[in-house]
């Protein structure tokens, strides 16, 4: 019997976001297969095709871990990406893992590590779906998905075709790709090329290497890397935990700002002789730690107005959290305050990492 997607009217989106914030959706469609995702969008788009920078009448939502949805919700159609499953094709020393977009990401990472496949182990514990990982080129602890993605199958809402995009066409960058802030393409499945090995990729991230007791560049058993990453993340409130409001967030609210060499020199002039943590970002640019800027602009962990129900996580300055009784407007007010404080103190602009739905920071 043909599966019929479930449709709900005026469902509250707070139940579908890790911030636990967001008002009602005009219509919510739970799509359990790629065909259902495409059919749902075709129907809505028939009323008027989507294009790059337009607010369209439909958007796709998966794990809800990187969106801030307005208190007023979204008046159009929300298509919930719920197609699941993956296959593994071994080819000598590599394996191609093809995963459906709605597959929970960390389940996939756990399975690849357990199957002796290497390349995703540092991305353990990141919430959300596999299909959303190309959107902002998900990364953590020295790894990002751009290193292992070989193909992304998408539905193009502009042409109505389903096409396979190469990594070049995805235009991956730091927390960026052709897909981010662009509702033209809907990811249906992703191919990853992983090494057949129980040993991890070389450990690049100093904090992770310290935790594992190895030198940067060493390889260790992938299962150990996964455990170490999960423990580090848990200590920062970066693994979802229903009992802990420090995890009612989108992870990092701001990206690490990338500044020119001149911009970095100007920043150093304003730090009173303290060296801000920074990393080379190519082309003479420098990536500066947003957490450091926020802390040194006077916003400590736990900062916030308890009456507003939102605040900085007590474990990590980059996570803005709903303490349980917050609203999206209160969260955005806190984000604006932090952004203005960092700009005043250091002259650096912070940019939000999550996608803002029907609301803005300006």
Catalytic residue numbers, as ranges: 175, 252, 353
Name which of 338, 362, 137 is nearest 254 in CA terms.
338
Q: Show contacts with ligand FAD in window 245-264 (CB under 6 A).
A: 247, 249-251
- Residue placing its CB nearer to ligand FAD in the complex, 59 or 346: 59
Quick check: 83 and 104 in contact, CB under 8 A? no
According to the binding rule CB under 6 A, does residue 170 interact with ligand FAD? no
Contact of 247 with 314, CB cutoff 8 Å: no
81 is a contact residue toward ligand FAD (CB under 6 A): yes
Q: Which of 31, 97, 140, 212 binds ligand FAD (CB under 6 A)?
A: 140
Q: Which helix (H) or strand (E) holds 75?
A: strand 74-81
DSSP-based three-state secondary structure for 144? strand
Interface residue with ligand FAD, options 25, 110, 170, 355 (CB under 6 A): 355
- Judging by DSSP bridges, how do beta strands 355-357 and 67-69 pair with one another? parallel
Q: Which residue is listed with tokens 């919930």? A: 80
Question: Which one of residues 34, 58, 60, 229 is an interface residue with ligand FAD (CB under 6 A)?
Answer: 60
Tell me, by CB under 6 A, how many residues bind ligand FAD. 34
Does 208 bind ligand FAD (CB under 6 A)? Our answer is no
Q: Interface with ligand FAD includes 294 (CB under 6 A)?
A: no
Count CB-CB contacts under 10 A for residue 193.
Answer: 16
Q: Which is nearer to ligand FAD, 192 or 264 (CB)?
A: 192
Residue 352 in the binding site for ligand FAD (CB under 6 A): no
Residue 31 touches ligand FAD, criterion: CB under 6 A: no
Contact positions with ligand FAD (CB under 6 A) in 212-241: 238, 240
3-state SS assignment for residue 345: helix
286 three-class SS: strand
Where do contacts with ligand FAD occur on this chain (CB under 6 A)?
A: 18, 59-67, 81, 101, 126-129, 131-133, 135-136, 138-140, 179, 186-187, 238, 240, 247, 249-251, 355
């Amino acid at each position: 019997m043909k599966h019929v997607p479930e449709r709900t009217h005026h469902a509250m989106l707070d139940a579908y976001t890790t911030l636990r914030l967001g008002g009602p959706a005009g219509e919510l469609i739970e799509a359990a297969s790629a065909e259902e995702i495409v059919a749902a969008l075709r129907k809505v788009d028939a009323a008027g095709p989507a294009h790059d920078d337009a607010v369209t009448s439909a958007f796709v939502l998966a794990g809800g871990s990187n969106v801030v949805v307005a208190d007023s919700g979204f008046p159009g159609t929300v298509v919930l990406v719920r197609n699941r499953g993956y296959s593994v094709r071994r080819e000598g020393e590599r394996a191609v893992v093809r995963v459906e977009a709605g597959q929970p990401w960390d389940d996939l990472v756990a399975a690849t590590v357990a199957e002796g496949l290497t390349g995703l182990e540092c991305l353990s514990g990141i919430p959300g779906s596999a299909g959303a990982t190309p959107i902002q080129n998900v990364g953590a602890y020295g790894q990002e998905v751009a290193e292992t993605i070989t193909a992304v199958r998408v539905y193009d809402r502009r042409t109505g075709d389903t096409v396979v995009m190469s990594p070049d066409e995805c235009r991956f960058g730091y927390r960026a790709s052709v897909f981010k802030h662009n509702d033209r393409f809907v990811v249906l499945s992703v191919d990853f090329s992983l090494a057949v090995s129980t040993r991890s990729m070389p450990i690049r991230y100093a904090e992770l290497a310290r935790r594992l007791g190895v030198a940067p560049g060493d390889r260790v058993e992938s299962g150990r890397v996964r455990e170490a990453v999960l423990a580090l993340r848990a200590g920062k409130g970066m693994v979802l935990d229903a009992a802990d409001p420090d995890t009612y967030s989108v992870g990092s609210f701001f990206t690490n700002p990338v500044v020119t060499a001149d911009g970095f020199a100007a920043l150093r002039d304003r730090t009173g002789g303290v060296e801000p943590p920074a990393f080379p970002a190519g082309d003479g640019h420098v990536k500066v730690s947003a957490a450091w800027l926020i802390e040194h602009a006077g916003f400590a962990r736990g900062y916030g107005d308890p009456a507003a129900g939102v605040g900085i996580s007590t474990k990590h300055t980059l996570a803005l959290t709903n303490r349980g009784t917050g609203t999206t407007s209160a969260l955005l007010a806190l984000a604006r305050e932090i952004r203005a404080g960092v700009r005043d103190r250091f002259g650096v602009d912070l940019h939000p990492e999550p996608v803002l739905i029907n609301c803005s920071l300006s």
